[in-house]
């Protein structure tokens, strides 16, 4: 149900085989790799292991490596089955940590001070794991895991703030993709794109896209998409030969009532009232 590997030795550990098939299991994994080179694919993309990284793998996520991967022996790995958390508060809390769903080049890069804090917690877990276990052991280990994840969440917040350039780049790519989607006529053919579809096109996970835009702008991805649709709607509403229903259908809405509800929520007035207000001006 739980395993802990913590190495302080020198040297390097090449992967034991030329390449791996896609691997998946029902475990959570938290690993610190002090140095890695080669391609390690997590989900759909390659992980950025520059200068080492703390990585998080969720149950049933796909992991794969090639024959160029080399690990430095220093580091640790904690693996625990999802059932290990059953009946605890952490079983629900862990689902809220988005970094377990990041299938992108967004591992957690630690400062020396941050790394020292994380390694200290892992050593406490290892001591408890190696001791003769009693009725308190599981509760203590889970408490330490909870603390580790809370620190990781704090450090990810720091990383998002320190990488504003990358966040801005993703926001620009998001808006550019929507613009190209609209201009290519796909909106009329396929309807409003889902956030999952947009994330796939941008080669990031849906959770990472949502978290990044939320940190950058304070708005979730769904709201960014809705605001884009409303801006497009304003232009079309100014064409007097189109009814409100036609505008809604042109924007990919299946139900005109839903379009009107979103428009009023964002603008404070209905599409009809917006059109009348423009006529008055």
Taking a C-beta distance cutoff of 8 angstroms, is the pair 55, 45 a contact? no
* Same domain flag for 227 and 243: yes
Q: What is the pLDDT of residue 146?
A: 96
Asked whether the beta carbons of 164 and 64 are under 8 A apart, the reply is no
Q: Measured between alpha carbons, how far is 73 from 35 in angstroms, rounded to an integer?
A: 9
Residue ending a domain, choose from 128, 162, 196 = 162
Question: Residue 80: what pLDDT?
Answer: 92
pLDDT computed for residue 33 by the predictor: 74
Which class for 14: exposed (0-12), middle (13-18), buried (19 or more C-beta within 10 A)?
exposed
* 229 phi and psi angles, rounded to 5 deg: -65, -40
Position 141 scores a pLDDT of 94
Q: Say which residues have a Cβ less than 8 Å from residue 256's Cβ, sequence separation at least 6.
A: 244, 245, 248, 249
- Tell me the CA end-to-end span of the chain in Å, nearest whole number: 69
Q: Are residues 99 and 121 in the same domain?
A: yes
pLDDT tens digits for the chain (281 residues)?
777 767 665 544 444 445 556 667 788 989 887 545 555 444 434 444 445 578 888 887 766 655 555 555 577 889 999 899 999 999 989 988 888 876 435 678 787 888 889 999 999 999 999 888 888 999 999 999 999 999 998 988 877 766 655 556 778 888 888 888 888 888 877 888 888 889 888 888 788 788 888 877 788 888 888 888 898 898 888 877 889 999 988 888 888 999 999 999 989 999 999 888 876 55
Task: Tell me, yes or no, whether 66 and 158 share the same domain.
Answer: yes
Same domain, 99 and 45: yes
Per-residue pLDDT, 220: 85
Give buried/exposed letters for 29-65 (b at 16+ CB in 10 A, else e): bbbbbbbbeeebbbbeeebebeebbbbbbbeebebbb
The SS3 of residue 271 is helix
pLDDT confidence of residue 236:
86
110 shares a domain with 30: yes
**pLDDT of the residue at 138:** 93
In our burial notation (b when 16+ CB lie closer than 10 A, e otherwise), range 112-139 reads: eebbeebbebbebbbebbeeeeeeeebe
Which tokens go with 197?
């579809």
Q: Which of 139, 68, 106, 85 is nearest to 212 (CA)?
A: 106
Sequence-ordered strand ranges (E) for the chain: 2-7, 12-14, 27-33, 36-37, 40-42, 45-46, 53-57, 63-65, 70-72, 75-81
Picking from 133, 162, 191, the residue at the C-terminal end of a domain is 162
Question: Are 142 and 6 members of one domain?
Answer: yes
Are 63 and 147 part of one and the same domain?
yes
Same domain, 190 and 255: yes
How many domains does one find in the chain? 2
Q: Check whether residue 173 and residue 146 sit in a common domain.
A: no
Length of the chain: 281
Same domain for 23 and 148?
yes
Residue where a domain terminates, one of 162, 197, 227: 162
Residues 79 and 198 in one domain: no
Domain with 172, as residue range(s), is 165-280
Are 268 and 202 contained in the same domain?
A: yes
| Domain CATH code at residue 21 | 2.60.120
Q: What's the pLDDT at 132?
A: 84
Q: What is the CATH number for 175?
A: 1.10.10.60
């Amino acid at each position: 149900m739980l395993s802990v590997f913590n190495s302080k030795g020198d040297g390097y550990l090449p992967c034991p085989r030329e390449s791996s098939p896609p691997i998946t299991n029902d475990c959570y994994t938290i690993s610190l790799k002090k140095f890695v080179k080669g391609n390690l694919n997590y989900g759909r993309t390659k992980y950025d292991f520059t200068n080492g990284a703390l990585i998080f793998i969720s149950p049933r996520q796909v992991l794969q490596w090639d024959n160029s991967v080399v690990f430095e022996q220093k580091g640790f790995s904690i693996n625990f089955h999802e059932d290990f958390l059953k009946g605890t508060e952490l079983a629900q809390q862990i689902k809220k940590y988005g970094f377990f769903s990041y299938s992108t080049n967004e591992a957690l890069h630690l400062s020396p001070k941050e790394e020292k804090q994380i390694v200290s917690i892992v050593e406490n877990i290892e001591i408890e794991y190696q001791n003769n276990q009693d009725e308190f052991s599981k509760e203590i280990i889970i408490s330490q895991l909870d603390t580790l994840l809370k620190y990781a969440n704090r450090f990810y917040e720091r990383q998002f703030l320190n990488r504003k350039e990358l966040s801005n780049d993703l926001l620009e790519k998001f808006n550019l993709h929507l613009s190209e989607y609209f201009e290519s006529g796909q909106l009329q053919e396929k309807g409003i794109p889902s956030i999952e579809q947009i994330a796939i096109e941008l080669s990031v996970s849906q959770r990472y896209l949502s978290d990044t835009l939320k940190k950058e702008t304070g708005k979730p991805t769904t709201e960014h998409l809705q605001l884009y649709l409303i801006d497009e709607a304003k232009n079309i509403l100014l064409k007097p030969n189109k009814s409100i229903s036609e505008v809604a259908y042109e924007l990919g809405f299946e139900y005109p009532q839903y379009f009107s509800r979103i428009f009023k929520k964002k603008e404070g007035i209905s599409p009809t009232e917006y059109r009348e207000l423009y006529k008055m001006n």
